[in-house]
Amino acid sequence: MSGMASDHNNSSQEEYIPHYLQKEDPFASKLSREADIVAGFYLTIIGILSTLGNGYVIFMSSKRKKKLRPAEIMTVNLAVCDLGISVVGKPFSIISFFFHRWMFGWIGCRWYGWAGFFFGCGSLITMTAVSLDRYLKICHLSYGTWLKRHHAFICLAIIWAYATFWATVPFAGVGSYAPEPFGTSCTLDWWLAQASVAGQVFVLSILFFCLLFPTAVIVFSYVKIILKVKSSTKEVAHYDTRIQNSHILEMKLTKVAMLICAGFLLAWIPYAVVSVWSAFGRPDSVPIQFSVIPTLLAKSAAMYNPIIYQVIDCKFACCRSGGLKAKKSSSKKSR
């Protein structure tokens, strides 16, 4: 009986035909022309805001590059990843939405899928490294005494190597990149999991090493930080001004990191759910009009980070300037 069941499973996997092989033209848009135009304008606005915001973060950081702390270097790397998504990837999808079909063929599809996954994976692994840095800095104070700038650059090299490896694995014949069901964008071929055991191993590896494990590290780090901050707030109040100011700066960097991670995960979780369902559920049951929404939401993640960074930075600057004014006025009175 078990042999018959396995034969049935194998036959069902062999019978599955992904959406991009069911049609003669997999790159024709399955949406209405009006929906494509709306999506094209939406991505144009997102792309412009993301390019300007992340470009501004990189420009301002370059003016004080020798003074950047390790956590700020990681933030700059995150801006580089987001800028890469906006400059390298978004023009392909914007043009395709306006032309009502994917315009760049299979080579362009694979390049677009690689670039999107490469920069997206780089963003998530960078945020994982930032969360670990914040966790060690807040919860293990001795860590901050030996961490230097060159350690941050070593970490960046590891991040880029990690993203390059996982984005390039599909080209080794293990996986692939394919058009989305709506036709005007490309992504990892999640549908391989429906066709073979090797495809399931590939998809599960991608999900674990490029989503679940980094997300678990991020959640663990910030839960530990929140618990530590609650228990140590009263202790910091008894220290001198220099230690208090250092603590305020560390908490500012931690808030930036927490909000950026939260925004990234909220933008990508709906897309991850649809991708997992396409890999292991019933992919044909997902309406095409519905499948485009998580994709557009995920593409907007690159826009949030510079906004979050600048809002927190402005609040910190206002608080700091207020404190300086108070100190100056008090010193004048004492004189």
Q: What is the pLDDT of residue 130?
A: 86
26 assigned to some structural domain? no
315 assigned to some structural domain? no
Check residue 173 and give left, alpha or beta (phi > 0: left; psi -120 to 50: alpha).
left
4 assigned to some structural domain? no
Q: What is the CATH number of the domain that holds 250?
A: 1.20.1070.10
Helix, strand, coil percentages for the chain (3-state, nearest 5): 85, 0, 15
64 assigned to some structural domain? yes
CA distance 300 to 267: 7
18 assigned to some structural domain? no
50 assigned to some structural domain? yes
Residues 79, 301: contact at Cβ < 8 Å?
no
Split into its structural domains, the chain has a count of: 1
Among 141-155, 245-259, 276-290, the range of highest mean pLDDT: 276-290
Q: Which of 43-47, 106-110, 227-231, 238-242 has the lowest mean pLDDT?
A: 238-242
Q: Which domain holds residue 99?
A: 33-310
Q: What is the pLDDT of residue 287?
A: 85
Give the mean pLDDT of the chain.
81
Q: What is the pLDDT of residue 310?
A: 61
334 assigned to some structural domain? no
Tally Cβ neighbours within 10 Å of residue 130: 28
Q: How confident is the model at residue 318 (pLDDT cuts 50, 70, 90)?
A: very low
How many alpha carbons fall within 13 Å on the CB side of residue 311? 10
Beta-carbon contacts of 54 under 8 Å, excluding residues fewer than 6 positions away, are 79, 80, 82, 83, 86, 302, 305, 306
Which position has the token pair 């707030």?
233
120 assigned to some structural domain? yes
